[in-house]
């Protein structure tokens, strides 16, 4: 058991928890938080798993995770802009339930 493996497992757990929340919840804000959990889990897996394989600190994957974090915050911000607009128009915090489609 080394640090890389432990944090890879941590990432796996975060992905699982986030995925659960993303499907289970209907509140848009909660789903956005769940998406961020999946994202953080993915980043942990990226670095932990790669470094476990390479056996050394892997700067390439770390740089990619930095890119990923910035993209994730942009996605969150975009989601929040849309959600707020939705609140304003509909006064609701969730999307209407899917019909037969």
Partner 1 sequence: MNMILSPIPWLLVIPLAGAVLTMLVPYHWRSPASVVGIFTQLMASVVLWYQVTHYGPQFYAMADWQAPLGIALRADGLATLFILMSSLVASACAFYAHAYLSLQKRAHFWPLLWFLWASLNGIWLAADTFNLYVGLELLTFAAVGLVAFASDERSLEASIRYLYAALLGSMAYLLGVALLYGAQGTLSMDSLAETWHWGPTNQVAVTLILGGLLLKTAVFPLHTWLPPAHGGALTPVSALLSALVIKASFYILLRFWIEFQIYQFLPSLSQLLGALGAGAILWGGWMALRQTHLKMVVAYSTVAQIGYMTLMFPLLVAESSEASLLAYQGGILMLLAHAFAKAGMFLAAGNLIFCTGKPDLVSLAGMSRYRPLNIFAFGLAGVSLMGLPPSGGFNAKWLLLQSSFMSGQWWWIVVLLLGNLLSAAYVFRVFAYTYQETDALDTYKRPKLSLELIALGLSVGSILLGFISVWPLEMISLPGPVMEALP
Partner 2 sequence: MNLLIDFTLLIGILAIALTCLISRSLFRSVVFFILLGLMLAIGWIRLGAPDIALAEAAIGAGITGVLLLDTLGHLKKTGNLENDEPAPGRKRLILAIVSSFTLVGLLLWAVFNQPTPAINIHLLVTEAMPESGVSHPITAVLLNFRSYDTLLEVGVLVLAVLVGLALQTDQQAQDSLPGLPNPLLHACLTLLIPAMLITSMYLLWAGADRPGGAFQAGAMLAAAFILLHISGIKLSSQVSHRMMQAGLLLGFGVFLAVATSSLIGGRPLLTYPEGGAGMLILLIELALTLSIGLILLSLFTIANSPPHHKDQGGDHGH
Window 2-21: residues binding partner 1 (CB under 8 A): 15
Count helices and strands (H / E) in the chain.
3, 0
Answer whether 49's CB lies under 8 Å from 5's CB: no
- Collect all residues with Cβ–Cβ distance below 8 Å to 100 and sequence separation of at least 6: none
**Residue 96 interaction partner, one of partner 2, partner 1, none, beta carbon < 5-8 Å per kind:** partner 1
**Which residues of this chain interact with partner 1, rule CB under 8 A?**
15, 22, 28, 31, 35, 38-39, 42, 45-46, 49-50, 52-54, 61, 64, 67-68, 71, 74-75, 78-79, 82-83, 85-86, 89-90, 95-96, 98, 101
């Amino acid at each position: 058991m080394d640090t890389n493996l432990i944090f890879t497992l941590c990432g796996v757990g975060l992905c699982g928890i986030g995925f659960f929340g993303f499907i289970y919840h209907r509140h848009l804000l909660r789903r956005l938080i769940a998406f961020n959990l999946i994202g953080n889990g993915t980043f942990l897996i990226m670095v932990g798993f790669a470094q476990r394989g390479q056996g050394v600190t892997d700067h390439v994957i770390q740089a990619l995770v930095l890119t990923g974090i910035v993209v994730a915050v942009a996605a969150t911000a975009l989601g929040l802009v849309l959600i707020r607009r939705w609140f304003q128009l509909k006064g609701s915090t969730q999307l209407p339930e899917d019909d037969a489609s």
